[in-house]
């Protein structure tokens, strides 16, 4: 197998798998710093959403369903994320394998499942926007729910140490 035989999608998948595996390591969680990437993604997503909302009402309903699905996915992912309090009182977290599997499936569906979704009558722009809105709402709700869990339980966790 030569380098020219590898497609761009395969290279992207390899890089994404490496990043997803890095998410499984333990790291400090800083809420405001963790919101930088979702904020940038939200601005880009809103550009796509604004265009799709000018289309038929069906587009609005699909995007609303994707937004709600993303919020629930973020809450589920945050629920399975392991949290600990460090010696200095900071929040330490390790990403969950379930979360990484969900993200990987969304990326696979985006890269390879677009033709199947197009057969169901969804435009490629709507599919892209749907995946963007699911991703952004998942990221934001996950981080907010993790921070909420930390604030709610930090005194109890400190006593256990």
For residue range 11-27, what is the model confidence (pLDDT) as tens digits? 766 776 776 677 667 77
Residue 114 confidence (pLDDT): 64
Angle formed by the axes of helices 36-53 and 57-79, to 10°?
Answer: 160
DSSP-derived secondary structure for 12-50: HHHHHHHHHHHTTSEEEE-HHHHTHHHHHHHHHHHHHHH
Query: Tens place of pLDDT for every residue, the chain, 161 residues?
Result: 444 556 766 776 677 677 667 766 777 888 888 788 788 878 888 888 898 888 889 889 999 999 999 999 999 988 887 777 777 777 887 766 666 676 667 667 666 666 666 676 667 678 778 888 888 898 889 889 988 888 887 777 666 65
By three-state DSSP, how is residue 119 classified?
helix
Q: Can you give 60-79 as a three-state secondary structure string?
A: HHHHHHHHHHHHHHHHHHHH
Q: pLDDT tens for residues 81-104?
A: 777 777 777 788 776 666 667 666
| pTM reported for the whole predicted model | 0.71
């Amino acid at each position: 197998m030569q380098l020219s035989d590898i497609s761009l999608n395969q290279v992207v998948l390899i890089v994404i798998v490496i990043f997803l595996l890095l998410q499984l390591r333990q790291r400090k969680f800083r809420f405001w710093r963790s919101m930088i990437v979702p904020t940038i993604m939200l601005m880009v997503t809103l550009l796509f959403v604004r265009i799709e909302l000018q289309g038929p009402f069906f587009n609005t309903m699909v995007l609303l369903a994707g937004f709600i699905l993303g919020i629930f996915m973020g809450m589920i992912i945050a629920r399975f994320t392991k949290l600990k309090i460090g010696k200095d009182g900071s929040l330490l977290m390790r990403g969950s394998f379930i979360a990484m599997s969900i993200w990987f499936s969304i990326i696979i569906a985006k890269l390879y499942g677009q033709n199947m979704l197009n057969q169901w009558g969804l435009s490629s722009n709507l599919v892209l926007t749907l995946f963007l809105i699911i991703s952004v709402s998942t990221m934001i709700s996950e981080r907010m729910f993790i921070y909420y869990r930390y604030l709610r339980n930090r005194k109890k966790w400190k006593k256990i140490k």
